């Protein structure tokens, strides 16, 4: 996930440099990357939950996932999403606004 986010950030590095050039605060840029990371995390979480509805009944042993487990998994996904975005955020923070001119 970190690699995907990093690649997506690299794809948009010119636009990020442009945002910096026209004066966007770091918070705005970090927010954009975090938003993307959380959206990916939420999509993955939702997809896994949906697939689980079909897959778990076919398992040889009973799998019981209750609300507290879902909550904990949600927390883990949230933490992974935030951690995965750090590399992309670091890259975005290090780009210079004059990169727009290159």
Partner 1 sequence: MNPNDSNPPAVVTENLTKVYGSGNTEVVAMKDVSLRVARGEVIALLGPSGAGKSTLLTAIGLINPPTAGRIHIGGELVMDADQAMVDLRAFRRRHLGFVFQKANLIPFLSAVENVQVALEINDATPRAAHKRAMELLEYLGVADRANYLPDALSGGQQQRVAVARALANEPSLILADEPTAALDSHRGRQVMQLFAKVAHERGAAVLVVTHDQRSLDVFDRTFEMEDGNLKSRQMPDVSIAKDSLHHN
Site of interaction with partner 1 (CB under 8 A)? 14-15, 18-25, 28, 96-98, 100-101
Instruction: Please report how close the Cβ of residue 49 comes to partner 1 at its closest, in angstroms.
Output: 29
Instruction: Please report how close the Cβ of residue 42 comes to partner 1 at its closest, in angstroms.
Output: 20
**Closer to partner 1 by Cβ: residue 67 or 101:** 101
**Closer to partner 1 by Cβ: residue 25 or 47:** 25
Scanning 12-95, the segments in alpha helix (DSSP H) are 13-21, 26-55, 67-94
Please, are residues 33 and 92 in contact by the beta-carbon 8 Å criterion? yes
Instruction: Please report how close the Cβ of residue 6 comes to partner 1 at its closest, in angstroms.
Output: 19
**Closer to partner 1 by Cβ: residue 69 or 96:** 96
**Closer to partner 1 by Cβ: residue 35 or 50:** 35
Q: What angle, rounded to 10 degrees, do the helices at 13-21 and 2-11 form?
A: 60
What's the CA gap between 82 and 87, in Å, rounded?
10
Query: Cα 35 to the chain's mean position, in Å?
Result: 7
Tokens of 39: 């959206």
């Amino acid at each position: 996930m970190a690699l995907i986010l990093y690649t997506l950030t690299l794809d948009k590095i010119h636009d990020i440099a442009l945002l910096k050039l026209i004066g966007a605060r770091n918070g705005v840029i970090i927010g954009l990357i975090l938003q993307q990371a959380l959206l990916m995390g939420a999509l993955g979480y939702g997809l896994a939950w949906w697939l689980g509805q079909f897959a778990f009944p076919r398992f040889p042993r009973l799998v019981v996932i209750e609300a507290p487990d879902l909550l904990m998994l949600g927390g883990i996904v949230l933490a992974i999403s935030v951690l995965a975005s750090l590399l992309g955020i670091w890259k975005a923070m290090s780009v210079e606004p004059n990169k727009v001119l290159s």
